[in-house]
Each structure stands twice: as structure tokens, then as C-alpha cells.
Amino acid sequence: MELRVLEYFLTVAREQSITAAAESLHISQPALSTQLKAMETELGKQLLIRGVKGSRKVTLTEEGMILRKRAEEIISLVRRTENEITQSDATIAGNVFIGAGETETVRLFAMVAKKLQKKYPDIQYHISSGNAEHVLEYLDKGLIDFGLLFTEIDPQKYEVMTLPFRDTWGVLMRRDSPLAEKETICPEDLWDKPLIVSHQKGDNLYLENWIGREESELHIVATYNLIFNASLLVDEGLGYALCYDGLINTQGSNLCFRPFSPQLNASGYIVWKKYQMFSKAAGVFLQSLKELLEKEAGSI
């Protein structure tokens, strides 16, 4: 399967029309159709559902949707590799790719990037937000250099750098909520309350141990991936969101945050694949990150 044909396929998927895709690619429609049919023959699967007579719209089959996802990843990785190889030996430039969940700890990356900006102005940083499954998937596929995680890591597969500080768990709620009168929130305060929780499996297991109840025993009204979206549900009075401190600015809003008691903290880890060959930009970033963490650890 040729890279060029994958790009053709992605263009058709985007345009939802072979005619429009051919115009975008500056090739003839018959030539494009021939390439696509050859791809389907090679894979032994139908990838596209051509429009019925009178309609030019093209849709993807289930196999076509799988190929689109993989093709996007392949093209991205190829472009990234080309960029890294063609950089001048005398110049440190290029891209650093990072995957992370929502946490104040992302500020670390900003501090390192700011430090390097003056000396290496041609380095660009790309943050991909998502839960642990998303970050590990992207690490395994080589689509990101580093991941920031708050879950157990397989030391046989990844290099792990433990952060010298932690995120604090608590409850995001409306200021007029009954629990807002308390300075801290204990497990039994939440047993009968409508809860909004992260749908990340690692977080749920972590919280179940603290709260002393299994998920099925709690009144969970919603789950979230992005805490900002959860904060809107809280603001509308749907329930109480369990999350890290510092992610939502509650100043001047209807919301407030109360920490857990007993305190529950989450340890963070910066991870990358073992035997990873970094680009010059990623290598410089990692070295600067290690130096900053050593400095931070020494001040704690």
C-alpha cells in the first residue's frame, strides 16, 4: 500500500466526494477511482460506499473508517520523521509532542519551553490532551514523545520520571451547595450526593478506595473527560464533580472547590518509551526538564 494512495483515500474521506477530491489533488477522477478500487482489491474489503445515481456523496464503510484513523496516524508519523531527518545538524529545531491529562502540572512543560525559547526559537510544542488510555496509545504508536500520567506505569515498557509534587483531589461544587459550608469533604459526605466523576478507569479505582464505596453504590449522574465540561454541569446544579484542585478558576464564579479529608493526592509521572530515539528538539527538552525537576526536588 503506497503512502500516496493513503493520502488520496484521506482526501476522499474529507471531501466525501471523489470528484471534489480529484479536483483538490489535481488528478483526473477516473485515475483517482482506479487507485481507490485497486486499494480495495489489495485489502479485500470495500472501503467506500459510492453515492446512488444522482448523488456524488461518498461515505466510508466500517473498514473504511478504521483505515482512515490508521492512515491519519501513518501520515502524521511519516511527516514528523521527515521533518526530524531533514533538520540541519547545526540547528536544533522541530517539534516536541506531549500527551497529558488536565492537571496544573502541565505548567512544568510551559516553564521548560519558556526557558528554551530564547536559545532555540524554532522548537514548537504540541500538547495532546486526553486520559491515560489516550496518552499510552499515542506513546505506543510513536505519535508523541512524552506522556504525563497519574496512573501505574509498566517499567518494563516505559522510562518513568516521578514528579516531586502531587495533585490534590477534592470536590467542585456550587457556592450555594450544602457541602460548600464545609472546609473539607469527608467520604460519607458524598455517599448520597449526585456525583460527576472522571470516566478514566484508574481515577475511579483510586477514588473508590478513598470513598469506601464501590461505584455501583454511589449516585453517579454523569462522567467526564474534560473538567471544564464537567464544571458546566456543576454550575447548572446537576451534581458535585470530583477532580483535581487548580483546574477551574472559581474566582468570581458560582463555583468553589473543597479538598478531601483525609487528604488524597495523586502522584504524577513523565513517561516515554524505552530505547526511544528522540529528535534533537525532544532530547534538549528532556534534558532541560530533568534539570528543572532536580532543582524543584531540591527546594522541596
pLDDT at 37 over 60: yes
> Grid coordinates in use for 164?
516531586
pLDDT at position 202:
57
Which position has the higher pLDDT, 232 or 131?
232
| Pairing, β 255-259 against β 146-149 | unpaired
**Distance between CA 114 and CA 125 in Å, rounded?**
11
pTM, to two decimals: 0.65
Q: Which three cell numbers stand for residue 21?
A: 477530491
Q: State pLDDT tens for residues 99-158.
A: 998 888 888 999 999 999 999 999 999 998 888 888 888 888 888 999 998 887 888 888
Supply the pLDDT for residue 53: 55
Residue 299 has pLDDT above 80, yes or no: no
Residue 300 grid cell: 522541596
By C-alpha distance, which of 242, 243, 263 is closest to 183? Answer: 263
DSSP assigned state of 16:
T
Q: Quick one: pLDDT at residue 78?
A: 86
User: What mean pLDDT value characterizes the chain?
Assistant: 88
Q: How confident is the model at residue 178 (pLDDT cuts 50, 70, 90)?
A: very high
| Distance in angstroms (rounded) separating the CA atoms of residues 137 and 93 | 26
Mean predicted confidence (pLDDT) in 252-270: 93
Give the residue from 89, 258, 238 showing the smallest Cα distance to 170.
Answer: 258
Q: What percent of the chain has pLDDT over 70?
A: 93
Q: What is the pLDDT of residue 186?
A: 97
